[in-house]
Chain A
Amino acid sequence: GDSVTQMEGPVTLSEEAFLTINCTYTATGYPSLFWYVQYPGEGLQLLLKATKADDKGSNKGFEATYRKETTSFHLEKGSVQVSDSAVYFCALSDTGNQFYFGTGTSLTVIP
């Protein structure tokens, strides 16, 4: 079945450091891929998405490219801020009815 494997955390970075969170997926069809972010005490919110191969999703300085050949959707940001501290979830949906989430990666950015 469909699944998402996500880089284990927690990740601690200094402000302005480069961020990469790895995500790979398994799917029988051609899924849409997502990154969601969860700030402390809140629900998840969509950070970015890509709906087909080679698409690049971007938002708030974060980027991820849908790589069909490597079945990956790695999240990157060139310069993290303290306000980026949160838990990041990679997810996929094949039909729009069922979503599969990774286990989440906790990011802490220190000044």
Chain B
Amino acid sequence: NAGVMQNPRHLVRRRGQEARLRCSPMKGHSHVYWYRQLPEEGLKFMVYLQKENIIDESGMPKERFSAEFPKEGPSILRIQQVVRGDSAAYFCASSPAVSRETQYFGPGTRLLVL
């Protein structure tokens, strides 16, 4: 049973470009969470999604950031017009519908904005 998959593992972008981060939850999991981690800091909640629904996006910046979890395919975290401050590790976690509190994390995508 594969764990949570994220790709790419490393992503380099220049300022102004777009970054797309993908997350495939564990098999059977219908809840996805995105977190951002800056160096030497804890994880900061960004958004919580179920299939085709955004449940809670209170941690997401109002501009340039968006997330989706389509009926088919992975969840996508999209950052438009990236700036240097977007450089961070982005982690995705998933949980089964019956146990929303137990989150399993992916290996993360490390975004570097030049």
Answer yes or no: do A and B interact.
no
Partner-A contacts on B (CB < 8 A): none
